[in-house]
Structure 1
């Protein structure tokens, strides 16, 4: 484990909050993710099922969590099933969690080996009225691969067709949208590592450097600080490539006079950081670059003021659109006639700012949350306005990670320079 141990009280509290949403007689099951194959005998590193991790803190494959608060046997109200270590596993892959280690890590007192699952589960199902099953219901989810959760769903409905079934996802989206103080502290650590990486790259950038060399500087700083990898495929886009929103080739030379857009994040203890900055290759913004950059920065600062308890995300995005419209009018990229004749479903500003401004962030970069409800203290959002002008070869986006507080917000990534003067001074020092 590359990260510091997490206080198991986080997972104890998360399970307690989840159970409060279950009706009488309900049982819930959460499965670990699969280790995904590549080619031949290759595999990718495990990316744990975030809901299982949220409720248990277990970062190990082939794990099952069962929550059954009304179980007749009090010891069966929280059960964790893990793979039993054997000599072969220990020799080739390293020892898995012992039962005592699993209890220490999760706060779950009842830990069985996975080989006992079907026998014990049969007894639990004889008592349960409803079964809550987990699924990926993220609004952007699209996966052609059958997951362990999906295979389990087929198996349980075939074995126990007369039970009632329900969805855990709506409960998990509600719970995960509000970050506890322990979670915020973990996200601080992720952001602190990302801050080190951005500040390292800021001093490394110069004409002639390749985008992939900059990518290497990020991963070097991540790994040496206990962060295993990028939290998403990094975007390091110089010049006109910054106008391609999901540019991931990172194979161009950084040329004198261009800007480089860095959209880079990292993991720490399964929690994500997600930051975007734009830096001038030669250490100085041109007048036009500065003009556009400061327009984006003004929208960002005003948008962050709108991320407050009681505001609503859809309304917030409309307000940000109005802020951006004013800036684009001042930049003469659109005019009053464009605004007057705009399609309400695709306003004039969308020509140069076509993506959303904020999304939930946490255990996933695009974390689950409640898009139809009002913002609350404990929500964590990105704030990332941008202006993209392909005809000028300028693409600028600035992004920070913001924890909404009762009285004031916390900017987790404020330590990464974003004022023009600050960036130029650091690059030329």
Structure 2
């Protein structure tokens, strides 16, 4: 890992909070992700499952965390199982966690090698009545691959058919949605690295550059600041490409007079940042581009104020829709008849702003959070309105990451990243 370790007090607290929500005489198991094959002997870079990471800090394949608050022996209330390292593995793959290092990282005192898992798991299941399975129930999940977690669940149900089972995900959805101050610090680091990348790009962009060259500038700056790269596949969309919401080809040349919509974010310590800025290829916005730009910025600023404790995600989006409708009327993109005759299920503003305004942020770019429960202080959201006008050849989206506060407006983690049109023009032409 490139990043500086996070203090294990975070993981100790996270486990304590999770176990406080468990049923009596229950245990919970969390598996690392697989290393996924490509072809021949090629594999995708390992990405740790965010749940075991959240509860232990262990960023290594073939690891298992077991939590059993009512275990007969105290040493079995928190247990880590790791792949046993040796000299051969150290030579060919590099350093792996020792039992001592695993304790330093996680604060878990009892660490076994993975070869002991079946024996100890059987012993602990004889003491337990319920097992918590870690299913993926995120509202945007679309998993076709059988995961390591899924294989474990299938095998455990066959081996222990008389046990009750419960879901860990609802507990994690609520816990992970509200960030610890230590997590906010790490998210701020991710946003600060994104800031550095953006400022680098402002000095780089000019007519004739290619979208992939801009992507490369971001990656260079991210890596040299201990990020492990992009938090998600970057969007570098010049001209009409910006009107394709998930444009990721990044293979077109940037032309004078066009805008570039850049939806990028650095990952740091597996925490995501998520920024969008829209800049002029030539260093200056046209009158019309600036008019639309300022409307998007106004909606973003006003929408941010609505993210307060007690608000509901669905109602929040309805209010943002009203803000956007007002701006589209002023821009001449909608008229009163469009609004009066709109379909309530697909309001008129959706013609130019068809996606949601906010999602939870954290270990995942689209992080955990139960959308039908009220917003709480400590939650982190994106705010990302946009206006997309294919007939005019450009689209504009602006996005910051903000922390909901107990009182007052959310705290903007991207407050230092240039966003005013005049500031961007000044920096591009300095």
Superposed CA deviations along residues 43-77 of structure 1, whole A, max 9, x for unmatched, are: 11111100000000000000000000000001000
Counterpart CA distance in 2 for 1:369 and 1:10 is 19
Superposed CA deviations along residues 379-419 of structure 1, whole A, max 9, x for unmatched, are: 00000000000010110000000011113421111211111
Superposed CA deviations along residues 247-269 of structure 1, whole A, max 9, x for unmatched, are: 00101111000000000012100
Alignment partner of 2:305: what SS?
Answer: helix
Give the Å deviation of 1:374.
Answer: 1.1
- 2:428 matched to which residue of 1? 427
Counterpart CA distance in 2 for 1:48 and 1:410 is 29
Counterpart CA distance in 1 for 2:202 and 2:403 is 25
- 2:305 matched to which residue of 1? 305
- 1:413 matched to which residue of 2? 414
Give the Å deviation of 1:95.
Answer: 2.5
The reply on whether 1:244 has 2:244 as its aligned counterpart is: yes
Counterpart CA distance in 1 for 2:228 and 2:5 is 15
Alignment partner of 2:406: what SS?
Answer: coil
- 2:221 matched to which residue of 1? 221
- 1:177 matched to which residue of 2? 177
Query: Unpaired segments of 5 or more residues in structure 2?
Result: none
Alignment partner of 2:414: what SS?
Answer: coil
Counterpart CA distance in 2 for 1:210 and 1:15 is 47
Alignment partner of 1:199: what SS?
Answer: helix
TM-score calculated relative to the size of structure 2 = 0.99
Alignment partner of 2:65: what SS?
Answer: strand
Give the Å deviation of 1:86.
Answer: 1.6
Counterpart CA distance in 1 for 2:30 and 2:55 is 9
- 1:23 matched to which residue of 2? 23
Counterpart CA distance in 2 for 1:336 and 1:418 is 31
Counterpart CA distance in 2 for 1:125 and 1:340 is 62
After alignment, is 189-198 or 87-96 more displaced?
A: 87-96
- 2:39 matched to which residue of 1? 39
- 1:186 matched to which residue of 2? 186
Superposed CA deviations along residues 142-183 of structure 1, whole A, max 9, x for unmatched, are: 111100000000111111111001110000000000000000
Alignment partner of 2:355: what SS?
Answer: coil
Give the Å deviation of 1:87.
Answer: 2.1
Superposed CA deviations along residues 191-217 of structure 1, whole A, max 9, x for unmatched, are: 110000011001111000000000000
- 2:400 matched to which residue of 1? 400
The reply on whether 1:255 has 2:255 as its aligned counterpart is: yes
TM-score calculated relative to the size of structure 1 = 0.99
Alignment partner of 1:306: what SS?
Answer: coil
Counterpart CA distance in 1 for 2:45 and 2:421 is 39
- 1:349 matched to which residue of 2? 349
Give the Å deviation of 1:133.
Answer: 0.6
Counterpart CA distance in 2 for 1:79 and 1:414 is 41
Counterpart CA distance in 1 for 2:45 and 2:114 is 21
Superposition RMSD in Å: 0.7
- 1:91 matched to which residue of 2? 91
Alignment partner of 1:226: what SS?
Answer: coil
Superposed CA deviations along residues 103-128 of structure 1, whole A, max 9, x for unmatched, are: 11100000000000000011100000
Give the Å deviation of 1:84.
Answer: 0.6
State the aligned residue count: 429
Counterpart CA distance in 2 for 1:241 and 1:214 is 15
Counterpart CA distance in 2 for 1:159 and 1:311 is 45
Counterpart CA distance in 1 for 2:101 and 2:217 is 36
Query: Unpaired segments of 5 or more residues in structure 1?
Result: none
- 2:133 matched to which residue of 1? 133
Superposed CA deviations along residues 217-265 of structure 1, whole A, max 9, x for unmatched, are: 0000000000011111100000000000000010111100000000001
